[in-house]
Amino acid sequence: MLLIDADPQQTAQDWAAVRESPPPFRVLGLSKPVLHRDLPGIAADYDHVVIDGAPRNYEVARSAIAAADIVLIPVQPSGADFWASRETVKLVKEAHAFKETQKACFWFQGG
C-beta of residue 35 within 8 angstroms of C-beta of residue 4: yes
pLDDT confidence of 111, banded at 50, 70, 90?
low
- What pLDDT score does 57 carry? 73
Considering the entire predicted model, what is its pTM? 0.85
Q: What is the pLDDT of residues 41-91, one digit of tens each?
A: 999 999 999 999 877 778 999 999 999 999 998 888 888 887 888 888 999
Average pLDDT over the chain, rounded to an integer: 91
Q: Is the pLDDT of residue 5 over 90?
A: yes
Domain containing 95: what range?
Answer: 2-108
Domain count, the chain: 1
Distances (CA, A) of 110 to 2, 57, 76: 26, 25, 6
